Chain A
């Protein structure tokens, strides 16, 4: 399976490139497009926090803003990738019914093109952080690993949902709704620990664990919670494996069911 993907790596590259190219070509804003989603998320997050601050009397600190920005950018990657990947098979139905290639490439290219947006937004954020009075610590080195975990989780959802949407066309509406409100069920605007004993309920969501770990290593300068990050990593690896298996099992039926 991996061997075949390697054989078709040029196709993966070109399809990813196509998605990026179209997105940046069509929009007048160009690269600002990659910033739009995270900026909206971060903006609304800060607004919500400000509202809380008014009632609780605790002022919004620079750390809060930083936490929301980082979580927002990573969340935007997850949401964007899953959203694009869900429709990736159906919107390329002419390819699916006419040409053979490993179908995983379609959801994969959606994830990769979202990763490109993430890199653009992330670079922007990094520059802001350097100019703003931010402390950096050795714990920052955890970030790539945590991103890898998030990437696997994203892959698991993307591959599975792309396949599901092929068989059931309303899956994409469900995904839209869940992602829109998911930002509230995931600790993007707040900290999971603020919920006290209910925190584990939130952290059971692997994306939450990833976001909290990012908050730990970038903002709070401490090691991430090994248990919850471990759980998230396990979910990512197993989830990717299982949804890949399901995808492959269903693949022979794609061309005739689409």
Chain B
């Protein structure tokens, strides 16, 4: 089981930016001009590295989530893995049959029917026709499009289109599955189905490489994480760590024109620095700040949000004491927030803001000042932790044969339906 399935060895990839001659009409005069003047004119090819020295290795059955801001080289990595692009330096290897879900419904033709497109798309993804014929019913059943099989795809809604595309791709049965941001399609029900399918792949020993901005999905599907930023691998390790580092990328702006954050601490109730907490644990969030301008009667607020930016919790010091944040230029203050972290597992950005007296504007605001990592108790799910206790009481009742005759029950149900 521990054989290497995917390896990426010191891979570099460069792209050109700027204009390029893409027609003879432009090329011929340019060449003539160059010959005439003897010196190349115009801007030379400006190149930049889309990937710099990226290495990773995956064993069979591993799952890797690749995250990073836009333009960080995630899709380039996938395209290299699926052999669409070739690296400029370094080498890579993918062992066994791979399926690449970079675009759903690749090659779908709008004028062809669903049935015809299943065959077309399947062969494009590398299946044999006989194989598709064998899996055809399963593919259609998964997409839940039995009634529309003989309708041209141009009459499909975008959700139906995506469902059929995913369904074909999900039946390729690859040894290595490469998935780009394609799951953000379809309704909730279908998305759940897609995730269930991906989990099934992993359970069956498929190696998964997954790129997404949906960090919840990455966190639940992948074991390993790779964080890229501008083509450079910033972090490699377990997925929660990668997600936390990803948020940390945005933690830099700790200064506004009026206020500077000089210290941030997250500790437990004993005062030990901690990032990771168990559900229900107490935590102390301390922010030290220095005024760069005069501040009067301001409010210091703390926020906890979900990773997709939904507000979960916020509070302000002014709601607990009469002390207002009034500082002359150069003076310092410390805000302390004590709370019980009744949260379930996940990573939560911890924010801090200083708002003006009547809440008209922010003097300082950063919604991702620090990351808070919650472990799960594995007994309950959701966002909040309600310190649950649960038990089950079975009541053994003497069965009265006359009351619970099966025939009587059936008749009763029949009567209800009527």
Residues of A within 8 A of B (CB): 10-11, 13-15, 18, 21-22, 25-26, 92, 94-101, 167-171, 174, 252, 255-257
Contact = CB atoms under 8 A, between A and B. Distances in A.
Given A99-B103, A171-B24, 15 more contacts: A10-B129, A11-B124, A14-B119, A21-B112, A25-B111, A25-B112, A26-B111, A94-B106, A95-B107, A97-B84, A98-B100, A99-B82, A100-B82, A255-B84, A256-B15
B339 interface: no
Interface string B101-126: 01100110101100010011001111
Contacts, number: 81
A101 B106 contact: no
Contacts of A168: 21-24, 27
B123 A10 contact: yes
B86 interface: yes
A170 B123 CA distance: 31
Nearest to B22: A169
Given A18-B109, A167-B22, A174-B24, A94 B103 contact: yes
A14 B106 contact: no
A101 B85 contact: no
A78 to B, nearest CB: 23
B24 A100 contact: no
A135 to B, nearest CB: 44
Contacts of B112: 18, 21-22, 25
Given A99-B100, A99-B124, A14 B84 contact: no
Contacts of A94: 103, 106-107
A116 B83 CA distance: 32
10 contacts: A14-B119, A22-B109, A95-B106, A95-B107, A97-B84, A98-B84, A99-B107, A100-B83, A171-B24, A255-B84
A11 to B, nearest CB: 5
A10 B128 contact: yes
B129 A13 contact: yes
B113 to A, nearest CB: 10
A257 B86 CA distance: 13
A105 to B, nearest CB: 10
Contacts of B127: 10
A128 B127 CA distance: 42
Contacts of A96: 84
Given A94-B106, A95-B106, A100 B100 contact: yes
B32 to A, nearest CB: 16
B92 to A, nearest CB: 13
B111 A95 contact: no
